[in-house]
């Protein structure tokens, strides 16, 4: 692949990368990203991600309240009320585009984001949104997206146990228009599930957050993307400093 055909997710400009965070709940991954931002600011770093706006489709959710406490601009549009008032199906692609257009308008009234971070955002984005920010929307899954046993509606930790796995990795990936998971950017170290059973779902998920999510999500934003390390080609292959990564993406070394 000609390196000229690799497009950086973000090209550093010697100033903070503008980040918009979308969330629907407690915002724990948002907090991890923001805390790393503040640490880098204190160190005098120039190339890092700065959360300039938080959008939520669940007004007054915990994550939005925390963002307000941090003095970060918060914008919202209740997806529940939107689809109720328009008497429309939340899965209708046309109405999804109308909703997403309103979301884009609210975000861009505050800033022009270089990166969109889905930090527990419980709304599927439509093609209008994802084409607007092509290869600029990242998400996280608390499991290994390269596994062929994955299904929707069941916790990743439970699926791993059912597949006979004794460990799990979580994955930061590019959100895709046509697929559940786009290209993998980075995976966590292996998180042990030994001695766990399906009834241990909650403590397993907390362990995955602490040992995986809260490490690789901030790392992906601040240490990889904001510093211009990651790029994508026309076939959605991911590159680290110009070198093509394997399907699973970069493996976090801790």
Digit-by-digit pLDDT tens for the chain (254 residues) are: 455 589 999 999 989 999 999 999 999 999 999 999 999 999 999 999 999 999 999 999 999 999 999 999 999 999 999 999 999 998 888 999 999 999 999 999 999 999 999 999 999 999 999 999 999 999 999 999 999 999 999 999 999 999 999 999 999 999 999 889 999 999 999 999 999 999 999 999 999 999 999 999 999 999 999 999 999 999 999 999 999 999 999 999 87
In sequence order, the β-bridge partners of residue 74 are: 54
Closest by Cα among 199, 190, 198, 196 to 167: 190
Instruction: Give residue 91's pLDDT.
Output: 87
d(CA 254, CA 158): 24
Instruction: Evaluate whether 173 touches 145 at the Cβ level (below 8 Å).
Output: yes
What is the DSSP secondary structure assignment for residue 161, as one 8-state letter? H
d(CA 90, CA 99): 9
Cα 226-230-231 angle, rounded to 5 deg: 125
Instruction: Give residue 178's pLDDT.
Output: 80
Instruction: Evaluate whether 12 touches 47 at the Cβ level (below 8 Å).
Output: yes
Closest by Cα among 215, 241, 119, 136 to 182: 136
Instruction: Give residue 3's pLDDT.
Output: 57
Instruction: Give residue 200's pLDDT.
Output: 95
d(CA 232, CA 168): 26
Rg (CA), the chain: 18
d(CA 192, CA 146): 18
Pairing mode, strands 167-168 and 191-192: antiparallel
Instruction: Evaluate whether 140 touches 221 at the Cβ level (below 8 Å).
Output: no
Dihedral sign for Cα 205, 191, 180, 99, please: positive
d(CA 47, CA 225): 9
d(CA 35, CA 39): 6
Determine how many CB atoms are found less than 10 A away from the CB of residue 120.
20
- State the pTM of this model: 0.95
CATH architecture of 11-143+172-188+214-241: 3-Layer(aba) Sandwich (3.40)
d(CA 172, CA 250): 10
């Amino acid at each position: 692949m000609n390196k000229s055909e690799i497009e950086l997710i973000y090209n550093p400009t010697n100033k903070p990368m503008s980040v918009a965070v979308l969330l629907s709940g407690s915002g724990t991954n948002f907090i991890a990203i923001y805390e790393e931002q503040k640490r880098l600011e204190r160190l005098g770093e120039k190339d890092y991600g700065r959360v300039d706006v938080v959008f939520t489709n669940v007004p007054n959710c915990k994550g939005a309240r925390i963002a307000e406490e941090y003095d970060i601009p918060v914008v919202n549009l209740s997806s529940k009320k939107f689809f109720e008032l328009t008497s429309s199906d939340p899965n209708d692609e046309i109405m999804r585009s109308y909703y997403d257009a309103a979301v884009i308008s609210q975000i861009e009234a505050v800033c022009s984001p270089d990166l969109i971070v889905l930090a527990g955002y419980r709304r599927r984005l439509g093609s209008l949104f994802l084409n607007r920010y092509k290869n600029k929307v990242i998400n996280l899954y608390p499991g290994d997206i390269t596994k062929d046993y994955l299904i929707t509606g069941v916790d990743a930790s439970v699926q791993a146990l059912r597949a006979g796995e004794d460990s799990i990795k979580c994955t930061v990936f590019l959100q895709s228009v046509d697929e559940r998971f786009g290209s993998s950017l980075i995976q966590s170290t292996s998180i042990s599930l030994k001695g766990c059973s399906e009834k241990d779902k909650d403590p397993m998920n907390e362990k995955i957050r602490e040992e995986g999510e809260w490490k690789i999500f901030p790392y992906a934003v601040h240490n990889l993307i904001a510093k211009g390390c990651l790029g994508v080609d026309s076939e959605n292959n991911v590159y680290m400093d110009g070198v093509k990564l394997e399907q699973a993406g970069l493996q976090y070394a801790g």
